[in-house]
Amino acid sequence: MINIAIDGPAGAGKSTIAKAISRIIGIIYLDTGAMYRTVALKAIRTGVDTRDGERLAALVKDIDIKIEYKDNEQRIFLDGDEVTESIRTPDVSIGASNVAVIPAVRMKMVELQREIARSSDVVMDGRDIGTYVLPDANFKFFLTASLDERAKRRYDEMISRGMPDVDYEEVKRDIAFRDKNDSSRAFAPLSKAPDALMIDTTGIEPQEVLRIILDKIENNETDGADK
């Protein structure tokens, strides 16, 4: 069983690289951030404050989140409805960062994530995969980049998704807020695992980042290493 953990802040390129690894190696890609976004969307739709820990704990007890794969792309469903695109709005992004600090929410999502990792070879990206979700992952990577670069990447992504009214400075503020929120939360904060390889992706094309990671995986496998 192969488990690959890719952590880092918003806009560092985690999803892009994880998806590429999934396609090349032929393993499942799990976007854990999408799961927290789905919880945030559920809260918003039901009028629950995304900072209300007590109500969120009750909300996630019976939340219906399902993940399916079509053409090697992750599709996420909430209460039977596909929300793959609906969870990518700025409001949901902030909400996801808020709900992610709630221990009951994280424990529920981690339970689902570990269940998938136990049954399938998987590459998983998020904030605490290598430190908390899959501490025994075979390979761990931590991607980062400057705030300006990460904001531009997220801005370009949102424009490409058909959000012409998005404001770059607002995107940058949102990412800075999420950085602080994710890094300072008491339970399973964003942090680099001691045994993770850190890669600063500022000014580096995704193909180069991918090459570095694949070389690491290939060399370790060639050497017969377990980690």
Query: pLDDT, tens digit, for every residue of 78-110?
Result: 999 999 999 999 899 999 989 998 999 999 999
Instruction: For residue 28, count other CB atoms closer than 10 A to its CB.
Output: 17
pTM of the model: 0.81
The CA-atom distances, in angstroms, between 10 and each of 97, 105, 172, 173 are 10, 19, 10, 12
Query: pLDDT, tens digit, for every residue of 36-85?
Result: 999 999 999 999 999 999 999 999 998 999 988 887 678 999 999 999 99
How far apart (Å, rounded) are the C-alpha atoms in residues 44 and 74? 22
Q: All domains of the chain, ordered by start, with CATH?
A: 3-214 (3.40.50.300)
